[in-house]
Structure 1
Amino acid sequence: MLHKGPRLLELAKTPSHLQFNKFVLTGYRPVSTAQECLRSLFYMHNELGNIYTHGIPFFLFLVLLPFSIPWMEVDSTWLCVAHYLACLSPTVGSVLYHVFMNHVGGEHVYDTLLSLDMFGVCLVNTLGALPIIHITLLCFPGLQRAALLVYVLLSSYGIYCATTARTNVLRLRAFVWQGLFRFSLFLFRVFGSGVGSPNSLRLFVIMDSLAVLGGVVNIVQIPERFSPGLFDNWGNSHQIMHIMVICSIIYLHWGTLEDLAWIKSYQCPTE
Structure 2
Amino acid sequence: MGARRACAPRHQSLTGRAGRVPSPPAAAEPEEGAPAPGSGGCARPQVQARPRRRVPADFVECFILSGYRRLHCTAQECLASVLQPTNETLNFWTHFIPLLLFLSRFCRLLLLRGAAELPFHHPALLPLWCYASGVVLTFAMSCTAHVFSCLSLRLRAAFFYLDYASISYYGFASTVAYSYYLLPHLRLLDARALSRYLQQHLGWYVDCSLPLALYSALVLPVAFVLAVTCTVACCRSRSECCAYPFAIRTFVFAMPLSMACPIMLESFLFDLRAHNPTLFVYFYRRYFWLLVAAFFNVSKIPERIQPGRFDIVGHSHQLFHIFTFLSIYDQMHYVEEGLLTFLKAPPTAPTYLGTVGYMLLLILCLGMVIRKFLNVADLCKQD
Please state which structure has a larger fraction of its residues in helix.
1
Matched, 1:16 2:57: yes
Offset, 1:4: 7.0
Q: How many residues align?
A: 263
Question: For residues 54-73 of structure 1, what are the structure 2 equivalents within 5 Å?
Answer: 54-69=95-110, 70=115, 72=118
Cα distance change of structure 1 residues 208 and 89 upon mapping to structure 2, 3 Å threshold: farther
Which residue identity lines up with residue 130 of structure 1 in the other structure? Answer: V
Cα distance change of structure 1 residues 85 and 153 upon mapping to structure 2, 3 Å threshold: same
Which residue identity lines up with residue 184 of structure 2 in the other structure? Answer: L
Question: Which whole-Å CA distance do the structure 1 matches of 2:334 and 2:136 have between them?
Answer: 16
What residue number does 1:100 align with?
148
Offset, 1:264: 2.2
Offset, 1:253: 0.6
Pick the aligned partner of 2:259 from 181, 184, 195.
181
Matched, 1:261 2:301: no
Question: For residues 1-271 of structure 1, what are the structure 2 equivalents within 5 Å?
Answer: 5-21=46-62, 23-31=63-71, 32-69=73-110, 70=115, 72=118, 76-103=124-151, 105-106=152-153, 108-134=154-180, 135-137=182-184, 143-166=215-238, 167-188=245-266, 190-191=268-269, 197-266=276-345
| Higher Cα radius of gyration | 2
Cα distance change of structure 1 residues 123 and 213 upon mapping to structure 2, 3 Å threshold: farther
> What SS does structure 1 have at the residue aligned with 2:143?
helix
Alpha-carbon contact 2:183-2:262 (below 8 Å) kept: no
C-alpha offsets along residues 4-36 of structure 1, whole Å, 9 cap, x if unaligned?
723321011111000122x11111111212222
C-alpha offsets along residues 204-233 of structure 1, whole Å, 9 cap, x if unaligned?
232233223212211211111111111111
> What SS does structure 1 have at the residue aligned with 2:304?
helix
Which residue identity lines up with residue 340 of structure 2 in the other structure? Answer: A
Cα distance change of structure 1 residues 253 and 261 upon mapping to structure 2, 3 Å threshold: same
Offset, 1:190: 4.6
Alpha-carbon contact 2:247-2:298 (below 8 Å) kept: yes
Q: Any gaps of 5 or more consecutive residues in structure 1?
A: none
> What SS does structure 2 have at the residue aligned with 1:174?
helix
Offset, 1:67: 0.5
Offset, 1:240: 0.4
Alpha-carbon contact 1:197-1:259 (below 8 Å) kept: no
Question: Which whole-Å CA distance do the structure 2 matches of 1:257 and 1:215 have between them?
Answer: 25
Q: Any gaps of 5 or more consecutive residues in structure 2?
A: 1-42, 191-211, 239-244, 348-383
Question: Which whole-Å CA distance do the structure 2 matches of 1:153 and 1:177 have between them?
Answer: 11
Alpha-carbon contact 1:79-1:130 (below 8 Å) kept: yes
Which residue identity lines up with residue 123 of structure 1 in the other structure? Answer: Y
Alpha-carbon contact 1:93-1:117 (below 8 Å) kept: yes
Cα distance change of structure 1 residues 99 and 16 upon mapping to structure 2, 3 Å threshold: same
Question: Which whole-Å CA distance do the structure 2 matches of 1:264 and 1:179 have between them?
Answer: 25
211-220 or 182-191, which deviates more:
182-191
Offset, 1:52: 0.7
Cα distance change of structure 1 residues 261 and 141 upon mapping to structure 2, 3 Å threshold: farther
Offset, 1:51: 0.7
Question: Which whole-Å CA distance do the structure 1 matches of 2:253 and 2:48 have between them?
Answer: 38
Question: Which whole-Å CA distance do the structure 1 matches of 2:50 and 2:231 have between them?
Answer: 33
Which residue identity lines up with residue 224 of structure 2 in the other structure? Answer: V
Question: Which whole-Å CA distance do the structure 2 matches of 1:133 and 1:163 have between them?
Answer: 28
Query: What is the TM-score when the length of structure 1 is the normalising length?
Result: 0.86
Offset, 1:193: 11
Question: Which whole-Å CA distance do the structure 1 matches of 2:342 and 2:277 have between them?
Answer: 11
Question: Which whole-Å CA distance do the structure 2 matches of 1:86 and 1:162 have between them?
Answer: 18
